[in-house]
Amino acid sequence: MPEPINDTDELLRRVIFADPRYIREDQTVSSFAFTPRKADKNGLSVDVARLTTYEKSILDKSKFRLYAIRADQVRQIGLNCKHDPLEDNYAHALIVGKITHSLAKRLANLAVRVSLD
């Protein structure tokens, strides 16, 4: 059963780092990482941090980096987030709304890299 997402909840976005379209040389994330793809029909896939661990969310730290953004920051720019548990990932959630290029850029600017070291 879906849970409410609190404003203070941290949303985790897993981003492939080998492709410079997603992560810049300085390790900041680009708007491309927050631009919906064809598979993102219902929203942009994220995990709710309090429902998982960083290690589970990243899956493979040799291929991915993890970035966090608070739910209230998502809502403040006119988007929303909803818990969307999957059979194999209870922490799964979606950032929903019309994610334009300018909103993807704002999400990227708000996102902070999560250090797993």
What distance in Å separates the CA atoms of residue 112 and residue 97, rounded to the nearest whole number? 21
Domain ranges (residues) in the chain? 10-114
Give the Cα separation of 78 and 5 in Å (integer). 15
Q: What percent of the chain has pLDDT above 90?
A: 77
Sheet of 112-114, strands arranged across: 80-83, 92-96, 44-48, 10-16, 64-70, 112-114
C-alpha to C-alpha distance for 45 and 29, rounded to whole angstroms: 16
Please state the rounded mean pLDDT for residues 108-116.
92
Top pLDDT among 48 and 60 is at: 48
Identify the band that residue 64 occupies on the pLDDT scale cut at 50, 70 and 90.
very high
At residue 17, the pLDDT reads 83
The band of 116, judged by pLDDT with boundaries at 50, 70 and 90, is: confident
Compute the mean pLDDT over every residue in the chain, rounded to the nearest whole number.
93
* Predicted local distance difference test score (pLDDT) of residue 26: 83
Report d(CA 32, CA 48) in Å as an integer: 21
Structure tokens at 72: 């209230």
Residue 23 predicted with pLDDT over 90: no
